[in-house]
Amino acid sequence: MPERDLILMQRNLRQKTSRARRALLAQIHIAKKELLKNHEGAYRDCIRAVSGGRTDSAANLTMEELERLRDDFVHLGWPRKRAKPSAESWLIALRKRINQMAKEIPLDGQRLEGLCRSLCATDDPAWCRDTEKLRRLLAALGKIKRRERHETKDSPG
């Protein structure tokens, strides 16, 4: 493996590790604020207990110790918050809803392609990576569905 590739891999690993470390530190500080409020001494005691007395600062803890400290806070009753849904999960949900809506409306393929082309700049919703454009397409389909329902209700039959 060329040296340049090895250096890039090491840098990428450090970035991932530092990102995970920052996330853990953030969780610990949030837990400290919510759980221990004004008990700085108790917080330092928790850190000393996790590190075996080596340090009283979260910044000096190893990744394993940070994870243990976070788990201790969870055990003490801190409700660990989950991350917000990713953009990818929003895209998947919007595309799924668009496909459901398209099945409910009597659309021919060309009409859906035309809507996609004008609102998303692609022929297929699966190719669109912009949640805002997909939301506009979903809104347009909803409007068509309401109009179709209104027209069939008013038509003599």
pLDDT in tens, 4-22: 766 666 665 565 568 888 8
Count of other CB atoms within 10 angstroms of residue 74: 14
Number of residues in the chain: 157
Residue 140, pLDDT score: 92
Residue 24 has pLDDT above 60, yes or no: yes
Q: How confident is the model at residue 136 (pLDDT cuts 50, 70, 90)?
A: very high
Tell which of 30, 51, 75 closes a domain.
Answer: 75
Considering the domain architecture, whether residues 67 and 91 belong to the same structural domain is answered as no
Q: For residue 80, tell me if it sits in a domain.
A: no
Domain membership of residue 9 as a residue range: 3-75
Mean pLDDT of the chain: 84
Written as six digits, the tokens of 126 are 């699966």
Q: What is the DSSP string of 77-141?
A: T--PPPPPPPHHHHHHHHHHHHHHHHHHTT--HHHHHHHHHHHHSSSSGGG---HHHHHHHHHHH
Query: What's the rounded mean pLDDT across residues 89-100?
Result: 90
Q: Radius of gyration (Cα) for the chain, nearest Å?
A: 26
Considering the domain architecture, whether residues 65 and 120 belong to the same structural domain is answered as no
